[in-house]
Amino acid sequence: MGSLLKISWRNIWRNRRRTLINMSAAGFGLFLIIVFTGLTDGIMADGKRSLANTGMGHVEIYAPGWRLQHKAGQALANPAALLASLPLPPGAQAGARVVARGLATSAHGGQGVQIHGVDPAVEARLANYAADLRQGGPLTADDAHGILVGEELAKRLQLRVGLKVRLMAQRADGEIGADLYRVRGIFHSISPNLSRGVVLVTSASAETLLGVGDVAHQIVIQLPRPDDADAVAAQLRTALGANYDIVTYGELLPLLKTMEATYKDIMIVMALFVYTLAGLGILNTMLMSVLERTREFGVMRALGNRPRYVVSLVLAEAFWIGTISAAAGLALGLLVTRLGSAQPLMDFGKTMGESFELGGMVLKTAFRTEFSPLAALKASMAIYLLTLAVGLYPAWRVSRMRPAEAIRAA
């Protein structure tokens, strides 16, 4: 076996240029598949992580009809008990919000906002912006008149830490509720709309403003694995019954699901295209190598070598080509995706800003790759097996040669 591999190694370098060109084509094709897969997986992962950038959950629970009407009285009673009863997987985070549409005003103007009444400690784990305070400090659970505002809202209303802002919203009884709040902190969000249109107060403060009791309008659930959202939602529907409106991020952001399916189709088409080109290139190399050595194979057969040995020699050459191509493409692909996961592979921040919105998603303009050695290994194995497969036809042709005809054909 060792001598067979040595002979086949020398054989593939008889025409060095042709071998290098076809190895490079196969290796570069594998490299493109690994990098493109890593980039698309990174974009999709960023899309799912962007849910936390906007405070959206992988699964959300509402009172029936609240999502359409946003009435203060359409609420979930006793949210603490509801949260405690949820059958969630290990590592999941869940929290309740009191939510209302309102108006924030200062001495310098007004702005329509969405008021979120939250548990400050829990909200910091559910929404990235709640923990990203650029000025001031966080709310405390007993702060009845503290408020956190976004940077964009602070600019528009000329607010800073310590100044007062008035909130007005429709109460559950139909009247208008209003109260003064003091700015405790200013948060940063990669979404300009959220930075301009969301304010945070404590749950108790929001309940007082809206004239409701111990209720919540929204239960937000963040999962350690976003892909489990459908299964978790189905389990929650079974456990809670029909008195709750339970939706997944795929229902709230259908474009994200569409993008996932589209990217998968694109990857299949791209992989087939690259594998076909690589296979044809390797097949060309193997066939040319066999045809150029027709006399040599004839002499080998005439000297008593069995067809099995000659076939093994051709397949050993395919082994070397596949091994080198797959190893080179895998190493380069892993290197680029690893670097791209640590720092952006592409950054459009200078021309597009920090983020852009697409179908309700907020995506960063700095694109990173998802580093996945397992996915890269699968792609390299496909190239490797393809090389061995296309080597079967030249090997079959060699096995069919008659020694005398092969010698004369040369």
Average pLDDT across each block of 10 residues of the chain; the chain has 410 residues. List them in order. 78 82 84 88 76 83 88 90 93 94 93 95 90 93 94 95 95 92 94 90 95 93 89 92 89 77 80 80 76 75 77 82 88 92 79 68 78 88 83 76 67
User: Which of 364, 362, 360, 343 lies closest to 352, judged by CA?
Assistant: 364
> pTM value?
0.72
Residue 210's pLDDT is 94
Contact yes or no for 126/57 (Cβ under 8 A): yes
> Domain ranges in the chain?
2-52+256-409, 57-252
pLDDT at 2: 67
pLDDT for the residue 61: 95
The pLDDT value recorded for residue 339 is: 92
